Amino acid sequence: MYGGNYIKEGNDSAKNTCLIFSPKEEDSVGALSRYLKLFAEHEVNLLYIESRSSLRQANVYEFMVECASGGDLGTVIENLREQSSYFSIITRNHKDNMGTVPWFPRRIRDLDKFANQILSYGAELDSDHPGFTDPVYRQRRKYFADLAYNYKHGQPIPRVEYTKEEIETWGVIFKNLMKLYPKYACKEHNHVFPLLIENCGYREDNIPQLEDISNFLKDCTGFTLRPVAGLLSSRDFLAGLAFRVFHCTQYIRHSSKPLYTPEPDICHEVLGHVPLFADPSFAQFCQVVGMASLGAPDEYIEKLATVYISIIFHCVIHEVTSNYIVQLKIYLPQCFWFTVEFGLCRQNGELKAYGAGLLSSFGELEYCLSGKPELRAFEPAKTALQKYPITEYQPVYFVAEDFEDAKQKMIKFAESIPRKFGVRYDPYTQSINIIDSKHQIEDLVYNVNQEVQILMDALRKLKQNLYLHVGYVRSSQIFIPSFTIVTCGNSYCLIYVNSLLDMFIAIWIIHRMGGSIAQSLSQIDTLYTYARKYTLFSKNPALLTISGPANKENNSQTFSSECDKSIKEGNGTLKRMTTIKQSNKQ
């Protein structure tokens, strides 16, 4: 199974390789002994062996072995590929192993395995850090690092008694930001912030506790916080988002420079990041990006990190110094630079700055909206190629039309990742399901159909004269949703769908528009680029016509059967539409 969920505790797992394989059906008896002999012959030491039922296919089992470094592992892998019906490699050291799948967490508690693998800072500080020569501050940072290192999933986040000096530093930042938020922060941020004040103790004289914030977010969107000692790698950080977990620091910046920090601190986290995690739409987007990162190649992880960060409307105001900008250039790709730091967006028809670099520099804030610099539409692939100066105003700024527009572009960007399997988050077990077999897809379709029935039952109880028929295309013995028919009044709407999400959105829009299909299609056309994948059947002579009462048992059923017939007879939208039109003439 891709992305196995096991890393042997106490070993240097970054150097070990995990192999997962299933024996061929004719070789199932005594297969393990033959496999073990293969490892012994090539002097490969095994640290862990596990046999288990396969989730890919019923009545099939598989083996998972963790191999230590050394020996002729390459020959073992070649032999296993030939002798197994299924074979996969998972390793932390995937850069040097072509064809492997990078390890990723399968259960939420697996986040414990990498939460302490930070890239910088933590208890140690660089010589140019404001607190480097302050022994009291360094000791305090060690205290916070120890809290994060000892934390395990499921435990309450330790409450911290912040010092008077730390609270005063927080107060300076909080007071300044509260003046700027109404004018400069995005509407999503401003909507949630009063709730954080009311429920989580956001005050000038109080630093909120991560445990209180985490509980608040969980009630809002299911997101939770997890303490971390410093910066994680992009891969590990994004993996946390797949489980709706945000890794969050608890320490605060040095009091000598309250408006500057060379690293993310609690001010940055809870004032800049947290408010948007309480927004359902943004929370869903973050999880989509996190899911896309699981098992993705390194080059796409970098792009996904760009994708994720570029969508966040950071509202933390800080003093931008040359040192800070140089550090940003080390860690951040271009999309980050032109969005989080220097991004513009449109809200209520006006250009607004949401980049932290702009909101912290009155001179550049005025300059960017003066008409002097060049403004370009925000496109992730193009933005990532733009060069930027670090010692002068930016000659080019990128503008996102609105929050939804930017998110849709990012989600589409994430779909380009080459991966041989699909992933699905199971909220009941807080685990990741790997989807790479017919059996798993059939189970998924069954579960989704149950959700469709719940949706339609709810619509009927709302007394909407609205009915649904879902058509399927049979491909390799698997039924995949292909189109949706919604009937209301004397109109029919046939929507060709790329995904079940398309179908849900279409139904929801029609319901929201009071059953008016014509108005609904206008809304769909406005919101989604796949709008041309529908056809309206009504009395409009400019369109194909099927008229008559929308009776669930009669006309809509006949209409549905005609659609089913046309789907089975051939592929392609043109043939489907031709068949339906001919049946109407008859």
pLDDT at 563: 42
Residues 503-530 have a mean pLDDT of 47
pLDDT at 507: 55
Tokens matching residue 462: 């709302």
> Is 153 flagged in the annotation as binding?
no
pLDDT at 247: 93
pLDDT at 564: 44
Catalytic one among 310, 360, 491, 560? 360
State which of 325-329, 443-447, 535-539 shows the largest mean pLDDT.
Answer: 443-447
pLDDT digits (tens, 9 = 90+) for 96-139: 444 567 888 989 999 998 888 877 655 567 767 777 778 899 89
Question: Is the predicted pLDDT of residue 85 greater than 50, yes or no?
Answer: yes
pLDDT at 298: 80
Q: Is 273 a catalytic residue?
A: yes
Query: How many Å apart are CA 438 and CA 391, to the nearest integer?
Result: 55
Q: Is 415 a catalytic residue?
A: no
pLDDT at 584: 35
- Strands 344-347, 396-400: pairing is parallel
Catalytic one among 94, 247, 254, 273? 273
pLDDT at 346: 77
More confident residue, 39 or 548: 39
pLDDT at 354: 56
Catalytic one among 94, 129, 189, 268? 268
pLDDT at 133: 74
Query: How many Å apart are CA 295 and CA 103, to the nearest integer?
Result: 6
Count Cα atoms within 13 angstroms, Cβ side, for 16.
Answer: 19
Query: How many Å apart are CA 126 and CA 263, to the nearest integer?
Result: 11
Angle between helices 403-414 and 298-311 (to 10 degrees): 170
Tokens matching residue 7: 């890393």
Please provide the DSSP assignment of 51-106 as one string.
Answer: EEE-SSSTT-EEEEEEEPS-S-HHHHHHHHHHHEEEEEEEETTGGGSTTPEEP--S
Q: How confident is the model at residue 161 (pLDDT cuts 50, 70, 90)?
A: very high
Tokens matching residue 28: 């199932």
The mean-pLDDT minimum among 43-57, 195-209, 479-493 falls in 479-493
More confident residue, 290 or 582: 290
In order of start, what are the domains of the chain with their CATH numbers?
Answer: 13-103 (3.30.70.260), 111-314+330-419 (1.10.800.10)
Cα distance between the two ends of the chain: 53
Residue 537: strand, helix, or coil: strand
> Is 273 flagged in the annotation as binding?
yes
Our CA angle for 320, 325, 331, nearest 5°, is 135
Q: How confident is the model at residue 70 (pLDDT cuts 50, 70, 90)?
A: confident
Angle between helices 500-512 and 438-461 (to 10 degrees): 10
- Helix H, strand E, coil C: the string for 158-179 is CCCCCCHHHHHHHHHHHHHHHH
The mean-pLDDT minimum among 156-165, 176-185, 328-337 falls in 328-337
Q: How confident is the model at residue 64 (pLDDT cuts 50, 70, 90)?
A: confident
pLDDT at 430: 93
Residues with Cβ within 8 Å of residue 313, at least 6 apart in sequence = 185, 186, 188, 189, 276, 345, 354, 403
Question: Is the predicted pLDDT of residue 508 greater than 60, yes or no?
Answer: no
> Is 511 flagged in the annotation as binding?
no
Question: Is the predicted pLDDT of residue 427 greater than 70, yes or no?
Answer: yes
Question: Is the predicted pLDDT of residue 579 greater than 50, yes or no?
Answer: no
Q: Is 254 a catalytic residue?
A: no
Q: How high is the mean pLDDT of the chain?
A: 69
Tokens 């008896």 -> residue: 29
pLDDT digits (tens, 9 = 90+) for 231-263: 888 889 889 999 999 999 999 988 888 776 777
Residues with Cβ within 8 Å of residue 172, at least 6 apart in sequence = 258, 259
Q: How confident is the model at residue 223 (pLDDT cuts 50, 70, 90)?
A: very high
Alpha helices in 243-321 (DSSP H): 266-267, 274-277, 280-293, 298-311
Q: Is 314 a catalytic residue?
A: no
Query: How many Å apart are CA 384 and CA 165, to the nearest integer?
Result: 40
Catalytic one among 66, 166, 263, 341? 341
pLDDT at 240: 93
CA Rg value for the chain:
27
pLDDT at 123: 57
State which of 152-166, 230-244, 310-324 shows the largest mean pLDDT.
Answer: 152-166
pLDDT digits (tens, 9 = 90+) for 273-304: 888 888 887 788 778 878 888 888 887 777 66
Question: Is the predicted pLDDT of residue 479 greater than 90, yes or no?
Answer: no
